[in-house]
Copies of this chain bind each other. A is one copy, B any other.
Amino acid sequence: MPRWPENTRARLVDAAFGMFVEQGYAGTTVEQIATRAGATSRTFFRHFRDKDEVLFADDDELLPHLVESIAGSTAGDSGGMMRAALGALADRMEPGRPRLRQRQRIIEQDVGLTGRELAKQARWQHAVVDALLERGFDRDDAEILAAIGFALFTGALHEWLEGEDDDGRSLRDHVERRFPKIADALNRPVPS
């Protein structure tokens, strides 16, 4: 059914990651990416709103799962709930470590990219707050819970990305290690 190469988008993503790693983000041109992928810069911009978005486009797949984890949780307290939800998220991210590490290094090169990553996290956090509200928490509690959860998760994520591939420590391990430290902020009963 495909009339065209069909994987153009994937080829563009691969080319972009490759060139960003080799030449840095600012040092590579959309034109170069497109050429390497056998396409035109015009085609690049049809697939991705801007040069940035090639790094963020496939990111939002995980969010629905996270929200659903919270909506469908059977834990009795907020701590168990966040633990289960963030653990499941960690499991889904586990196989992507090499690519995520690459991506992380690219993003750190550029203030704009860093900002966009944070904006994405903020969107996620907001979605989690909504899910918690839906679940019956009041707004202040929901916001604090989400803030703590994300602070914890991003801390764990960075530690995990800095580790070696064969260090035997999963992202889930990193996440769960941190939970006891914040136990007293996370021991509220889930509203009935």
Q: What sequence of 0s and 1s flags, for each residue 138-173 of chain A, a beta carbon within 8 Å of any chain B beta carbon?
A: 001101100110111001000000000000000000
Beta-carbon nearest neighbor of A121 in chain B: B118
Q: How far is the CB of A28 from chain B (nearest CB, A)?
A: 19
Contact B112 A118 (CB under 8 A): no
Binds B, one of A12-20, A40-48, A177-185: A177-185
Main secondary structure of the interface of A (DSSP, over half): helix
A147 to B147, CA, bound (A): 7
Tell me the count of chain A residues lying within 8 A, CB to CB, of chain B: 26
Known: A118-B121, A182-B185. 15 other contacts (CB 8 A): A111-B116, A111-B119, A114-B115, A115-B116, A115-B118, A115-B119, A118-B122, A140-B181, A143-B155, A144-B148, A144-B151, A144-B152, A144-B182, A147-B151, A185-B185
14 contacting pairs across A/B (C-beta < 8 A): A111-B116, A112-B115, A114-B119, A114-B122, A115-B117, A118-B118, A118-B119, A118-B121, A140-B178, A143-B151, A144-B148, A147-B148, A148-B148, A185-B185
